[in-house]
Structure 1
Amino acid sequence: MADEEAWSGVVVKKSRAMYDGANLYRKLEVELDGGEVRDVKVKRDLWKQLEVGDRVTKAAGADPARG
């Protein structure tokens, strides 16, 4: 997924893991409006704000945001 791409969808799953044993990664599984499902890495503050069923959007060149 390109950073310049814009999309919007609904959170279907939240997860976090330490893939490299040192850094904690927070991911959302998002079902986009077109039906595609994507894993999206997000910052801690956004991860804590969102719950399954919440809407998330991403503008081209920006970080994902609630809404």
Structure 2
Amino acid sequence: MRVQYVQQMSQGNGKRSPLQPNPRWLIIAAIICAVIAGLIALLAPAVVVLFGVLSGVFVVWGVGLWILNVFR
């Protein structure tokens, strides 16, 4: 891959400099990054809520069992 790229650059037919890659790939990469970031942003609150609900369930469960044991 690298050898082919160096050959293209040495032949002079590569009009783009290394700092200007194909815009299509940049756009695709940007879309992929945005999708991943969006998934993380959407899932992070869900994970927080999930753990919050689980902790609440365990607290209620523990307190409920404790009360049942006290009054039994």
TM-score above 0.5, yes or no: no
Looking at secondary structure, tell me which structure has more strand per residue: 1
Choose between structure 1 and 2 for higher RCO, CA contacts under 8 A separated by at least 6 residues. Answer: 1
Return the TM-score normalized by structure 2.
0.17
Return the TM-score normalized by structure 1.
0.18
Looking at secondary structure, tell me which structure has more helix per residue: 2
Name the larger-Rg structure: 2
